[in-house]
Structure 1
């Protein structure tokens, strides 16, 4: 699977699957949601996560039986050692759903040798979908998506903060970064739904994102959409960042054009303290 036509086919499969999962989630949030603890970091899982993931896995592995999968709840599945790996987040924003907050998304990414080539984010509450193929731009509900440049505001930018579940209370770096953002930004959003932060950046609704020790499943698809729309993404040291699938705890800075250097300076200053 190397041609543009193949990736367009994969996009159609992913969009259809994400929107079907979105309908399942929308219907489910109107009833009783079963909530259970997950892990040792305060995360939760619901019956909706599991049902949506089952649907997505069936759609993806039926269409692409030779591909591997990394799924939020099921872990690694499919063909081991495959050149192509799907990354599936069936319900990004589970903690929001658990408290009745209608702020969540479905995300899929298709990576080749660990590099995202296709990303899809669907927001069930509004029925909107965003997608991107590497090198071919990003699409939103109204067509091609372009991130507008940052224009300095009197009270600073609007930023989103994303941290991984493994970040402990009292983490000195996290504390320093969050204090810096609170000091310099007009608003700091903590959405508990990173995929929505990525599409907000792609649209220009927010100005930047700082990610600290972030996980894998809610990273490559959203990052690719934002980058293909024109947003800039680097590691904390300013080197290229492309959402690796290996390891955990990834740090990054993302922004609209015209703001990246300021955010890198802010991050570097806070880390050195």
Structure 2
């Protein structure tokens, strides 16, 4: 696609960070085999990727604000625009040598996500979208799934771990949804869950406790691919609340009704 200047800057930053992470990912696999502790190494890889992205974006647009997973928020001279960045979504997968993780970069303008880039560097899949310009994966236009029956649908979610407060509600969601659908996947990278909804690999996705960096780019991607995205609770802010539901337009109503029912 012929993207805007901002989108081109985002794509370049994502590719540079992705290239760095792929090199580090090979080392993580070696560390796993050697049974050394790879945790600190991954943290450094994550920070290095964010530094690469930040340098690219702030050099190109020094007045924009910044909100990075590792470095937090920095106000910009332009209060209407900010970057929202997760340099490595799917850190646990990365840590375990699983090739399912991504770089996620979004541009917010006046409180709305207007551009998004999600780069699955391990598979060389670049997902991009801009408001009003459609959604793309590499050089191909993408659309949400055309499936219309819940029994044919595959959904994705993130299942909370440890003592997270949303675990009981998520277990209830699964109990209600599983009998109606063809399956539920938990692959551990929210940005790619949304990218897969946009490209029709999943029919829908929901999550009750997710960081804004992980989903910001995916929101515009799904919408531009013809899908629907809403907060789980009406009237709430998706990024602020960390609760989201997305699906193709044919199944959204039934899917959302299932997740929202109590």
**Structures share a fold, TM > 0.5?**
yes
Deviates more, 1:81-90 or 1:179-188: 179-188
* Matched position secondary structure for 1:259: helix
Contact 1:22 1:106 (8 Å CA) reproduced: yes
Gaps of 5+ in 2: 32-37
> Given the alignment of the two structures, is residue 10 of structure 1 paired with residue 14 of structure 2, yes or no?
no
Deviation at 1:81, TM superposition (A): 6.6
Q: Does 1:112 align with 2:109?
A: yes
1:64 to 57, 61, 66: 61
Pair 1:229-2:247 in alignment: no
Matched, 1:257 2:249: yes
Could you list the per-position Cα deviations for residues 105-127 of structure 1 after superposition, in whole angstroms to 9, with x for gaps in the alignment? Answer: 10100001221011001111121
User: What's the CA shift for 1:45?
Assistant: 5.7
Q: Deviations over 1:4-28 (max 9, x none)?
A: x9x7001000001101111111111
1:123 aligns with 2:127: no
Q: CA offset at residue 96 of structure 1?
A: 0.2
Residue of structure 2 equivalent to 1:193: 189
Kept after mapping to 2: 8 A contact 1:148/1:257:
no
RMSD over aligned CA atoms reads 2.4
Contact 1:116 1:242 in 2 (8 A): no
Runs of 4+ deviating beyond 3 Å: 163-167, 241-244
Partner SS state of residue 214, structure 2: coil
Per the TM alignment, residue 191 of structure 1 is displaced from its structure 2 partner at its CA by 1.2
The offset of 1:162, in angstroms, is 2.8
* Partner residue, 2:212: 216
Pick closer, same or farther for the CA change 1:165–1:121 going to 2, 3 Å.
Answer: farther
- Cα gap change, 1:165/1:52 in structure 2, threshold over 3 Å: closer, same or farther? farther
Q: Deviations over 1:129-185 (max 9, x none)?
A: 1111112211221332222322326x4420001357797167432221122233333
Q: What residue in structure 2 maps to residue 180 of structure 1?
A: 176
Question: Taking structure 1 as reference, are residues 48 and 209 closer, same or farther at Cα in structure 2, changes over 3 Å only?
Answer: same
CA deviations on 1:213-269 (whole Å, 9 max, x unpaired) are 221101110111111010111222566x7744xx3x422221112101111221132
Normalised by the length of structure 1, the TM-score is: 0.84
Deviation at 1:207, TM superposition (A): 0.7
Partners of 1:109 and 1:164 in 2: CA distance: 24
Choose between structure 1 and 2: higher helix proportion. 2
* SS, match of residue 213 in structure 1: coil
Query: Which residue number corresponds to residue 74 of structure 2?
Result: 77
Check if 1:94 corresponds to 2:98.
no
Q: Secondary structure at the match of 1:180?
A: helix
Q: What are the ranges of 5 or more consecutive residues in structure 1 without an aligned counterpart?
A: 37-43
Hey, what does 1:150 align to over in structure 2?
A: 147
Using the alignment, how far apart are the partners of 1:170 and 1:11 within structure 2?
Answer: 35
CA contact (8 A) 1:214 1:250 kept: yes
**Greater per-residue strand proportion:** 1
